[in-house]
Structure 1
Amino acid sequence: QKNGITNLEMLEAAARLHILTGEPTYRSQAERAWEWLMQSPIRQADGLLNDGLSGDPTSQSDCCNGSSSFGYKPICVNNGGPTYTYVQGMFVGAATALYRISSNITYLAEAGRTLDAVLGQLSVEGVLVEPFQQTADALPPPCTENHDPANGDLYSFKGVFMLQLADFLNASADLRLPAHAPSPLRDGIRTDLVQLILNSSDAAWSLRDQPPWRAVPADACADGALSHLTEGPPKFPMYWKFLAGEPGRTAPARVCQDSRTQISALSLFVAHALVLSETFSAL
Structure 2
Amino acid sequence: MVLLTASRLAGALLSLVLLCSCKEPIDDVITKPPTPPVTAAPANWAARADSAQNALRQGFFTAGQYYAKNNAGDAGFNYWWQAHGLDVLMDGYKRTSSSDYLTQAQQLQVGAKAKNGNTYLNEFYDDMEWQALACLRAFQLTGDPTYKATAKLLWEDIKTGWNEQQGGGIAWKKTQRDYKNTPANAPAAILAARLYLLDKNPDDLAWAEKIYQWQKAKLVDPATGLVWDGINRTGDGQIDKNWRFTYCQGVYIGAGHALYQATKKPEYLADATRTASFVLGDADMAPGGILKNENAGDGGLFKGILVRYLALLATEPDVAAGTRTNYINFLKFNGESAWKRGARRPPGLFNTNWTSQPQGAVESSTQMSGVMLLEVLADLQARKLL
The TM-score bracket by the shorter chain reads 0.5 to 0.7
- Equivalent residue runs for 1:129-208 within 5 Å: 129=292, 133=293, 148=296, 152-171=297-316, 173=317, 175=318, 188-206=322-340, 207-208=342-343
Contact conserved, 1:236 with 1:265, CA < 8 A, in 2? yes
Q: Which amino acid aligns with 1:202?
A: E
Residue of structure 1 in register with 2:374 after alignment: 269
Q: Tell me whether 1:209 sits opposite 2:344 in the alignment.
A: yes
Question: Are 2:209 and 1:31 equivalent residues in the alignment?
Answer: yes
* Cα distance in structure 1, aligned partners of 2:360 and 2:270: 38
Q: Is the 8 A contact 1:238 1:256 kept in 2?
A: no
Q: CA deviation at 1:62?
A: 3.8
Instruction: Provide the rounded CA distance (Å) in 1 between the counterparts of 2:197 and 2:347.
Output: 37
Taking the TM superposition and a 5 Å limit, the aligned residue runs for 1:1-283 are 1-43=179-221, 45-54=223-232, 60-62=233-235, 76-121=237-282, 122-129=285-292, 133=293, 148=296, 152-171=297-316, 173=317, 175=318, 188-206=322-340, 207-210=342-345, 233-242=347-356, 254-278=359-383, 280=385
Larger radius of gyration: 2
| Structure 1: distance between partners of 2:270 and 2:384 | 18
Q: Which runs of 5+ in 2 are unaligned?
A: 1-178
Percent identical: 28
* Counterpart Cα distance in 2 of 1:261 and 1:195: 22
Give 1 or 2: higher helix fraction. 2
CA shift at 1:274, angstroms? 2.0
Deviation for aligned residue 1:256: 4.6
SS at match of 1:2: strand
SS of equivalent to 1:40? helix
TM-score w.r.t. length of structure 1: 0.66
Conserved 8 A contact 2:229-2:244: yes
Residues 103 and 203 of structure 1, relative CA distance in 2, 3 Å threshold: same
Aligned counterparts of 1:31 and 1:86: Cα–Cα separation in 2:
20
Q: Tell me by how many angstroms 1:188 deviates.
A: 2.7
Secondary structure at the residue paired with 1:240? coil
Q: CA deviation at 1:42?
A: 4.2
Q: Distance in 2 between matches of 1:41 and 1:16?
A: 22
CA displacement at 1:260 relative to structure 2? 1.1
Contact preservation (8 Å) 1:166, 1:274: no
Counterpart amino acid of residue 126 in structure 1: G
Aligned-residue offset at 1:82: 1.7
Counterparts in 2 of 1:101 and 1:279: CA distance versus 1, 3 Å: farther
Measure the CA separation in 2 of the matches of 1:118 and 1:237: 21
Does the aligned pair in 2 maintain the 1:11–1:33 contact within 8 Å? yes
Instruction: Give the RMSD, CA atoms, in angstroms.
Output: 2.2
Q: How far apart are the structure 1 equivalents of 2:375 and 2:305?
A: 11
SS in structure 2 at match of 1:280: coil
What is the CA distance between 1:93 and its match in structure 2?
A: 0.6
Structure 1 residues 111 and 255: alpha-carbon distance in aligned structure 2, compared to 1, 3 A threshold: farther
Q: In the alignment, is the contact (CA less than 8 A) between 1:156 and 1:238 conserved in 2?
A: no
Counterpart contact for 1:4–1:53, Cα < 8 Å? no
Letter in 2 for 1:196: F
Cα deviation for residue 279 of structure 1 reads: 6.8
Cα separation, 1, equivalents of 2:258 and 2:322: 22
SS in 2 for 1:17: helix
Which amino acid in 2 is paired with 1:209?
R
Q: Where does residue 224 of structure 1 map in the other structure?
A: none
Distance 1:260 1:42, change over 3 A: same
Unaligned runs of 5+ in 1: 55-59, 64-75, 139-147, 176-183, 211-231, 243-251
TM-score scaled by length of structure 2: 0.49
- Partners of 2:220 and 2:265 lie apart in 1 by 23
Residues 19 and 101 of structure 1 are in contact (CA less than 8 Å); yes or no, is this contact kept in structure 2? Answer: yes
Q: Deviations over 1:20-72 (max 9, x none)?
A: 11111100000111121222144352111111112xxxxx4347xxxxxxxxx
Amino acid at match of 2:370: A
